[in-house]
Amino acid sequence: MTPPIRPSSPQPRAEPARQESLRTLNIELVFRHILAAARPISRTELASATGLTRPTITRIVEELIAGQLVSEVGYTHDGRAGRPRVGLTVSDKGPAGLGLDIRADGLAACIVDLTGTLRHLAFTPTTYADPTAPAVLADLARMADAAVEAAAAADLTVVTATLAVPGPVDSGLVRSAPALGWRNVDAGALLRDATAHLDLPITVDNEANLAALGELYASDNALSSFVYVSGGLGIGAGIVLDGRLMRGMRGWSGELGHVTVYPDGRPCPCGSRGCLQTYASLEAILGDEPAPAGTTPETAITIRAESGQPETLAALDTAGTALGVALSDTLNILDSDTVLLGGSFALLASWLTDRARDEISRRVLTTDWAPVSVRPALLGPDGAVIGAALTSIDQIRQRPGIWLLRQAAPSNHA
């Protein structure tokens, strides 16, 4: 198992709630203190930290244990005299999140439990011989079936699925995914139909946004401001400032692939010219020689580059330079000091980073005083699928009362 990746957890309130929704808010209060604790926390410590009475704490903790949100883990010392007390921590059983991802070289699915631990990760390579939405989402539905089965075998219940797609999304509608030929595709509805037997709520989001959230979680929120660049079927960016994902007015921000780097440059499928996509996408780097059958685009590019093939090395130099030009404009506006190369770019970072960094050093006004770090993303090409699963499970972390109500209704049991 991988180490836990912590989904975001709001700071616990200092005082107990005094409103009509007292029970629900106090459950959230107690659960967030357990989430925030660096070690197992006792009932006595919870009473002291929240201001709630010991009987109230006992009742809430028993509900959280019965709902498989919290586990007792032996004894903990809280610095007080007397016997050690029973410790409480987030449970690794019970609710889990399902992430699904459409990548340049295949499809991915993963399960993350409430502790943030990755419990299942599967990847199916594909050349998208049939890139139509029903065909692609039918393949993903089969992967979702296998992931839900793996979760059940580990005493986990998948509560929500989140799909990562390479394009802007509006309420489940994929407005544009040129690399797949999708336009105004209701991916949420299609996937719900294909997975109807699972009876799962499904959300759809841009893969760069989800990957950026995955990186934020993976850093345990220590990395609070950065630009995440995702290379793959398209080129997208997830922008995180002060620990918050910047989505824009309609959630369509981050279309870095269609930033103009050369105004009179190559024509782009979007209808413009000189877009970053036409110089730094996998298709652009591969050129006229596609990846051989059974080989991913990243692998084909890596083999050619390592063998010193001049055309591939020149294409990588062009891609890195164009990427640096596009990022320079972005960084001059945002004033961020970190760029994470994710998706396919994480695998090609050793050929892209120097050229991109050179352009950034030359073009970003503040680099003389505040150098910009350009490095591979921590989660690599798995960032979007892990971020999707973490986003799903974070809903339970934010609103544990919803899960407890579901558990209390026998007709809704999974």
Higher per-residue confidence, 178 vs 238:
238
Measure CA of the first residue to CA of the last residue in the chain; give whole Å.
Answer: 25
Asked whether residue 1 is domain-assigned, the answer is: no
Q: Which of 75, 90, 105 is the last residue of a domain?
A: 90
Mean pLDDT of 203-208: 92
188 residue type, one letter: G
Question: Nearest-CA neighbor of 69 among 411, 410, 395, 412?
Answer: 395
Higher per-residue confidence, 174 vs 222:
174
| 242 and 324 within one domain | yes
74-78 contacts, C-beta under 8 A, 24 or more apart: 74/40, 76/39, 76/40, 76/41, 76/42, 78/41, 78/42, 78/44, 78/45
The pTM for the full model equals 0.86
| 198 and 138 within one domain | yes
83 residue type, one letter: R
What share of the chain in percent tops pLDDT 70? 91
Asked whether residue 370 is domain-assigned, the answer is: yes
Let me know: does 375 contact 353? Beta carbons within 8 Å: yes
Q: Which of 64, 90, 116 is the last residue of a domain?
A: 90
What share of the chain in percent tops pLDDT 90? 63
Let me know: does 98 contact 119? Beta carbons within 8 Å: no
Report the mean per-residue pLDDT for the chain: 88
Higher per-residue confidence, 149 vs 407:
149
What does the block give as tokens for 248? Answer: 């824009």
What pLDDT does 413 receive?
A: 41
DSSP state, residue 11: P
Asked whether residue 14 is domain-assigned, the answer is: no
pLDDT tens digits for 362-393?
Answer: 999 998 898 999 999 999 999 999 999 999 99
| 352 and 254 within one domain | yes
| 365 and 227 within one domain | yes
Mean pLDDT of 15-35: 78
Mean pLDDT of 41-65: 93
How many structural domains is the chain composed of? 3
CATH of the domain at 154: 3.30.420.40
| 363 and 260 within one domain | yes
What pLDDT does 291 receive?
A: 84
At residue 126, φ and ψ (nearest 5 deg) are -155, 150
| 275 and 138 within one domain | no
Question: Nearest-CA neighbor of 197 among 149, 230, 163?
Answer: 149
Partnered with residue 228 across adjacent β-strands are 238, 340
Asked whether residue 352 is domain-assigned, the answer is: yes
The whole domain housing 284 covers: 221-377
* DSSP per-residue codes, 138-156: HHHHHHHHHHHHHHHHTTE
| 252 and 193 within one domain | no
What pLDDT does 414 receive?
A: 39
What does the block give as tokens for 361? Answer: 């050093």
CATH of the domain at 80: 1.10.10.10
| 229 and 197 within one domain | no
CA distances from 49 to 37, 43, 78 (A): 11, 10, 12
Higher per-residue confidence, 181 vs 303:
303
What does the block give as tokens for 163? Answer: 């799909």
Taking the C-alpha atoms of residue 109 and residue 124, their distance in angstroms, rounded to an integer, is 9
DSSP state, residue 3: P
Mean pLDDT of 13-18: 52
Q: Which of 45, 66, 90 is the last residue of a domain?
A: 90
What pLDDT does 134 receive?
A: 94
| 101 and 128 within one domain | yes
| 115 and 70 within one domain | no
What pLDDT does 78 receive?
A: 56
58 band by pLDDT with thresholds 50, 70 and 90: very high
Least confident of 52-66, 309-323, 343-357, 397-411: 397-411
Let me know: does 355 contact 317? Beta carbons within 8 Å: yes
Is the pLDDT at 341 greater than 70? The verdict is yes
Asked whether residue 9 is domain-assigned, the answer is: no
What pLDDT does 412 receive?
A: 44
| 99 and 85 within one domain | no
Asked whether residue 4 is domain-assigned, the answer is: no
What does the block give as tokens for 95? Answer: 């609710």
Mean pLDDT of 228-254: 85
What pLDDT does 319 receive?
A: 97
Is the pLDDT at 104 greater than 80? The verdict is no
| 142 and 261 within one domain | no
Is the pLDDT at 411 greater than 70? The verdict is no
Taking the C-alpha atoms of residue 96 and residue 390, their distance in angstroms, rounded to an integer, is 9
68 band by pLDDT with thresholds 50, 70 and 90: very high
What pLDDT does 82 receive?
A: 53
Asked whether residue 296 is domain-assigned, the answer is: yes
Is the pLDDT at 234 greater than 90? The verdict is no
Asked whether residue 304 is domain-assigned, the answer is: yes
224 band by pLDDT with thresholds 50, 70 and 90: confident
Partnered with residue 183 across adjacent β-strands are 176
Torsion sign over Cα 315, 318, 321, 326? negative
pLDDT tens digits for 112-126?
Answer: 999 999 999 999 988
42 residue type, one letter: S
